[in-house]
Amino acid sequence: MSKDRTSSTPFVPLDIGIITVSDSRTLETDESGKLAAELLQAAGHKVVARDLVVDEARAIQDVVGRMMARDSVDIVVMTGGTGLTARDVTPEALAPFVTKQIPGFGELFRWLSYQEIGTSTIQSRAEAAMLGSTVVFMLPGSPSAVRTAFEKIILPQLDNRTRPCNFVELLPRIRGEVR
């Protein structure tokens, strides 16, 4: 977690949707999605939806679209489909809908991951982007990658007490609610 935190500010929980992209898992056997949900809930956020979809572009687009259409979803976290094989299509599936890239996420994730798995990190295409007014994190499907992303990047950025800035403070401005 970030050391730059204001302790007197009350925590603001977010409503988060989790989507696992996998051809081989079920919701019951999905360790990465389960871990993401546990970490979010332990931090004080609410997991309002959890889904699993096969590694097919149209199916990914459909489930992401349905999740983003829910008024209760502030952030979407995806696990899986960010590797290099022919079946790994999460970034390509969402690319037509990206309104703003968040390149620092992928760069920072790979830098942190390098410290854990060395040069194998170059095989990850983890990224984050804005799809309209929704922040979407696209993570590798391994539980260790999910833990790294959450503990070192995502959870601090989803905590309104993190300074100098965080996604929670940006959400109203991203949505055009504050001028």
pLDDT digits (tens, 9 = 90+) for 116-175: 999 999 999 999 999 999 999 999 999 999 999 999 999 999 999 999 999 999 999 998
Residue 177, judged by CB atoms within 10 A of its CB (0-12, 13-18, 19+), counts as exposed
Q: Where are the alpha helices (DSSP H) in the chain?
A: 31-43, 57-69, 90-94, 103-117, 143-149, 155-157, 167-174
- As a whole number of Å, the CA-based R_g of the chain is 15
Fold designation for 15-174: Molybdenum Cofactor Biosythetic Enzyme; Chain A (3.40.980)
Would you list the domain boundaries of the chain?
15-174
Question: How much of the chain, in percent, has pLDDT values that exceed 90?
Answer: 90
Mean pLDDT of the residues in the chain: 94
Determine the average pLDDT of the residues in 11-28.
Answer: 96
* Rounded-to-integer distance, Cα 159 and Cα 45, Å: 9
Average of pLDDT values for 91-119?
A: 97
Q: How far apart are CA 117 and CA 139, in angstroms?
A: 15
pTM: predicted TM-score of the whole model, two decimal places: 0.94
Confidence of residue 178 (pLDDT cuts 50, 70, 90): low
Q: Give the rounded distance of the alpha carbon of 131 from its chain centre.
A: 12
Pairing outcome for strands 100-101 and 127-131? antiparallel
